[in-house]
Structure 1
């Protein structure tokens, strides 16, 4: 009774432990680098691939605080022993705009592009993805990155990296995202979509008509998540990945000037319909969800980084071809 009576009770919303919950809980935003542990764990080599489930160790805060920001979960605690209380909440530095500016901004056409943040800090990965309106005039990449780092308790240097990454992606997409494809002809492309969050990997292969706006990536992702029983974190992940794939194909069509012809695999004598695949029964055209081991996750991360470098080289070659044709 005496211990409970001595604890100070904070006013609601006076403290926050959001950054620690994001880092320590099972989320796709903050990925702890398992191979790089602090000196307390270097004496024992642990193969995390042997564990099927996601284990939580009691001393996780020891190396987490040491590798990220020392004693961030302890400073400002009430009672000293309760690490769940958090720290004093900092007031969010929102920018308040004039009503006239809000009305002008609302009248601008909304053109969304996919933005992906993928960087390392103290040996851990910070991964986030969202849609950005290139006609947004009020919220800037600088302001967004500052709020992001404030919520996640990250230093100012990380904020600068996020700002630079957002600006680079905006510049990359702005040149062709506003170009409209002809609506009078069908532009079918084959999409190979792959998305993994934590240990779950979703893969799919399907056709998509670039000239048809009746089905959006957001609606498609909602159907997939509902049909396959995936977590809601897959909603933005699938729609964002589909936006990226479609914009890349749109860019290739604009630069090359021709549409890839797809083979008609429908039943003989029909222009369209279900694919006729007597050998494999269309197994490659169905969605698949599998649980990966830690070794498979690391292997796929290496392959993903290689693919990113390859796509950047291809994008640079496509841009060079486009400049020569002008």
Structure 2
């Protein structure tokens, strides 16, 4: 069932919003269970740092934060099923991470959406200092972020973009507004069946050299991009040999470290699956086009 990704600045009241969505969905399930046997099977789960026992100090350094994200991701992946609605209550502030979660939902042919909790940074700092997050009716006293950690996370936040596949549908909830519960329910539960996507619905790996082929295909694409920039400068459309689509580069120079980071992430997403070898470069180009938007 659907994956609802909560996103927003730290200390913006995301957990309050997640709980409001959970309560709204549970009420809808109770209301419709008698007349709809499909809805009667639904269960709602909220996954958060608090539910996983993750301290906010993990965001001070890259390694513990990466481990915490991996734990969060694994829990969401384990809970997603045909009868389980998962609310991912976290900052989800990295667009590549939201893409990864979106792919997990897509692989199960279930919809996903992003609920962006829109709160000004100064309001978040105020709430963090007083340990009061959310509305009076649903306040929760929580471990505050250290001021320097809070500032760093706000600086690094990558706001959801409704023009990208993994951030849509996008529901923006200003801090003074109610949640659009009915709209989220209709988009997630009453949505038409999600069509399989080439990048997410793949056969289990069977070929012994699949990872080597995947690694070489992606490295070839990176090499073409670097050579294009060396010869032509930044920007422009790049024709990739053996790919059916072109890579659209942004007007700014894309360095090797950034390209390698995206290459490793793509390999990580697809290492457990096999696709036709002739499609690997096209898939990677499609992924890069979305990442570089």
User: Normalising by structure 1, what TM-score?
Assistant: 0.23
Greater helix share, 1 or 2?
2
* Larger relative contact order, structure 1 or 2 (CA cutoff 8 Å, min sep 6): 2
User: Normalising by structure 2, what TM-score?
Assistant: 0.25
Specify the structure having the higher radius of gyration (Cα).
1
